[in-house]
Structure 1
Amino acid sequence: MKYATFSADGDTFFGVITDSGAIALNEAFPDYASLYEVIAAGAFDQLSGAAEGKPVTHKGFKYEMVMPDARRILCVGVNFPDRNAEYKDGSEQPKHMSLFPRFASGFTGHDCPLIRPPENHTLDYEGEVAVVIGKGGRRISQQGAYDHIAALTLCNEGTIRDWVRHAKFNVTQGKNWDNSGAMGPWLVPFTDTAQLDDARIQTHVNGELRQNDTLNRMMFPIRREIEYISTFMTLQPGDIIVTGTPTGAGARFDPPKYLVPGDVVEVSVEGIGTLRNTVEDEQP
């Protein structure tokens, strides 16, 4: 099943997405206000049972960022071999992964516009898979890492490139412009290792294939990411790890191919879905 956060008539809901519409499940979980709270409470597995036999409640709705109240989002940077080579600095594969935080306010939902700010027009795309932690833990082994994943989703980790260069060791300000990225459309329960081990991620811009790679080529596989991150912090249910983007971001073309209003960006992984967004300039 596909679980999403969506809005209609001024209200926000979480529930199941079907071919004919959405089924809101808020009334079935009165103690939880969001998918994040459902996962944090360990009730994610109950969602499918709650949806059985229920009719569609909404045919017209707007997708929201799939977990708009997520408290901790960690992103892994430069995680594909070709991506490391794109920097043209002669560096070998790093010993440890690069990490940086993103905040939920920087993401919009599926079929919503990415917003290009007036301060800088170097808005770029990064297609990625994100994993949602369902079982917390500290010093998690690689062997047991997948047991801690509840769900998968897609991320367009939109970046204002010039602003990641404002400081020597800090990319945070270029990675957190409001509504510069997207996450969704929905959460897909993680039930099979093949969902990650055999996954191919592709990013299209206006129909042109820009990014195309498989997760098994990551320099730091997802098992290692969970092991490493849980060494220094206790992972908690509802935490999100954005796992890394392949080569082919707009900044790496000559000249760069940054996003402009009217562009359509699609991030796809078979078995998860397609996250689609347009691009608009921020309105005063």
Structure 2
Amino acid sequence: MLQRPPRDTRLDLLRGWLQLQIFASHAHGSLIGIWGISAAWGLSDSSEQFLFLSGFALGSVLVLKEHRAGPRAAWRDLMLRVARLWRTHLIVVCGFAALVIATEMAFRWPGEAAAMGWSWLLVEPWLALPAAAILLYQPQYMGILPVFILCMLALALLIRGMERVGAWALLPPLALYGAVQAWGWHLPGLGGTEVEFNPLAYVVVVLIPPRPMTPRAWPAQALAAAGRNSLNVFCLGLFFSYAAASLFRAFPGAVPWLDLPLVGGGALGLMAVAQAAERRRRDPALAR
């Protein structure tokens, strides 16, 4: 029987670092968000890298679960993860819509919600909410979690295919990737929005330290905590980044002075939230 390996802190550190990059890149107007992310210097952006690493980790979990408890248990575990992520997506959609509307009113930016794709939700919420539930209504900032949900489902099929036909199971996703690059295939969204369709990205794995590590310094511990609590960090980071982007837009002349306090402070805040979640997990009394 396969044994559960120890959690690889290297992946947690890398995923935590990518979460901070995602936060910075969403803070539109930030110089850090333009030049301090991997998309400015490499072939793939932080979202694609995070998706790749998450698929790598989730695939390992599914294979282990399947070998230890059987295919049904593995699928049940996956469906619970998908349901949790889907529920979180709907909560974020509603909360972010409220933030955008409040920002439009506070800064007196008429048309802000419409420009970001939220007008359908305001005019016909009885149609927009079901469309968001089936992942086809994606205003700005709302495109990442649906991609994760769909990729989680596709990953299970890919693992099952590799068990049956080996590496040949990789041909369909590779062919789809080639078609997207060659012909620009794009799925149409609902409500005047577009479905964010990101192909698999490449990760330079040689940059990962060659041996397992136990971080001791606070920055490394906080970064690893952000990687282990990536869903909460990502969702909260969306709100932080839009707030920062709104301030950059409201005070364009102060961007050089606001950039580091807002983006750097937001990154520290996200890591602090992740560490607080770690403490609650270790001490059940704190979670009450």
> Which bracket does the TM-score occupy, shorter chain normalised?
under 0.3
Q: What TM-score comes out, normalization by structure 1 length?
A: 0.23
| Greater Cα radius of gyration, structure 1 or 2 | 2
Q: More helix per residue: 1 or 2? A: 2
Higher relative contact order (CA 8 A, sep 6+): 2
